[in-house]
Amino acid sequence: MRRAAKLVVSAISALVVLIAIMGGAGFFVYTKSRVDKVKPVDAIVVLGGGHDGREQYGIELARQGVSRNVVLSNPYSRRDTRMAKFCATKDPRFTVTCIPPVPGTTRGEALFTRELAEQHGWNSILVVSWRYHLPRARYIFSQCFDGDIVMRPVPRDYNFSLAEWEYTYLYQTVGFAKALLQGRC
């Protein structure tokens, strides 16, 4: 009986240490990830994820003259009225293109960006996503796009619980491993 209890305590202790390591590393790798300075680019690519201000941010960057092209990833339902509104944005200074990614992942978004870049001669892009997604998105886009990549976070705060942050770090790490295994596009 005591041996079983020691095994349980050891397993729980190991799990706690693993969670603490993942949280500490995740904080620096994902939450405090590198953010590039805004500079003029051929296209602004806004990744899907949630209507958390990302579409408005991408469009606002175009209004500020960062690019004449905004590409909104549109993995959402056709009944999504907010996305329909963003996709219908008309401004003489820039165009908005909405594309559903295939597959419906960051890799799918990088693939359609590569295709658009080849069609339009783009050599530079600015990618908008969650800050904690930037390292993985940067890696995936660098596997699919040979040009200059600027990474910018959605300008917002994340009020996640400790458990939500741990899940986020684990999700991003598993996604990173998948991307490493997939290799170049």
Does some domain include residue 37? yes
Does some domain include residue 9? no
Coil vs helix vs strand at 103: coil
Does some domain include residue 109? yes
Does some domain include residue 43? yes
88-118 pLDDT, tens digit each: 999 999 999 999 999 999 999 999 999 999 9
Average model confidence (pLDDT) across the chain: 90
Does some domain include residue 87? yes
Q: Say which amino acid occupies 141.
A: F
Give the pLDDT of residue 52: 92
Domain with 147, as residue range(s), is: 31-154+162-182
Does some domain include residue 176? yes
Domain count, the chain: 1
Does some domain include residue 8? no
Measured over the CA atoms of residue 47, residue 71, residue 114 and residue 102, the dihedral's sign is positive
CATH code assigned at 94: 3.40.50
Q: In what order do the strands lie in the sheet with 69-73?
A: 95-99, 69-73, 43-46, 124-129, 148-153
Nearest to 144 by CA among 120, 181, 108: 108
Q: CA angle, corner 162, sides to 160 and 163, nearest 5?
A: 95
Measure Cα distances from 183 to 29, 105, 179 in Å: 21, 15, 6
The four Cα atoms 114, 50, 103, 23 give a dihedral, to 10 degrees, of: 90
Does some domain include residue 21? no
Give the pLDDT of residue 46: 98
23-51 pLDDT, tens digit each: 566 677 788 889 999 999 999 999 998 88
